[in-house]
Amino acid sequence: SQQGEEDPQALSIQEGENATMNCSYKTSINNLQWYRQNSGRGLVHLILIRSNEREKHSGRLRVTLDTSKKSSSLLITASRAADTASYFCATDLIDNAGNMLTFGGGTRLMVKP
């Protein structure tokens, strides 16, 4: 079963606006990773945030992590049409002998030009 839940499931915004996607999870994590997927292609790694970190930035991306609420958010500022994609959060669980990631359901983002 999926570890994470993402909301919204779909988001449509105008170019230039900010997009915020949220991810919640159920059990303790080592880290949480955000990925982008364009139209059924492979996953592109965006940001990794560790359990002892609260915020990370990369270009127009800002990720926050609240371990007390077991939630994370991905903010894309000044969105562009090229940001149209599906975004997934994935958790690396503490109780994870297999070292694999567990994925949320994803948010489909559409940025209208």
- Structure letter (DSSP) for residue 23: E
Provide the minimum distance between the beta carbon of 17 and another protein in the complex, in angstroms, as a whole number. Answer: 25
Helices (H), the chain: none
Provide the minimum distance between the beta carbon of 72 and another protein in the complex, in angstroms, as a whole number. Answer: 15
Q: How far is CA 44 from CA 37, 68, 84, 89, in A?
A: 6, 28, 13, 12
Between 1 and 68, name the residue whose CB sits nearer to another protein. Answer: 1
Gyration radius of the chain over CA positions: 13
Provide the minimum distance between the beta carbon of 64 and another protein in the complex, in angstroms, as a whole number. Answer: 18
The residues of the shown chain that bind another protein, judged by CB under 8 A, are: 2, 30-31, 33, 35, 40-45, 48, 50, 88, 90, 92, 98-106
Q: Which two structure tokens, joined as six digits, stand for 50? A: 């560790």
Between 79 and 102, name the residue whose CB sits nearer to another protein. Answer: 102
Cis peptide before 113 (omega within 30 of 0): no
Provide the minimum distance between the beta carbon of 87 and another protein in the complex, in angstroms, as a whole number. Answer: 11
Between 59 and 98, name the residue whose CB sits nearer to another protein. Answer: 98
Q: Closest Cα to residue 7, out of 106, 102, 76, 84?
A: 106
Between 1 and 113, name the residue whose CB sits nearer to another protein. Answer: 1
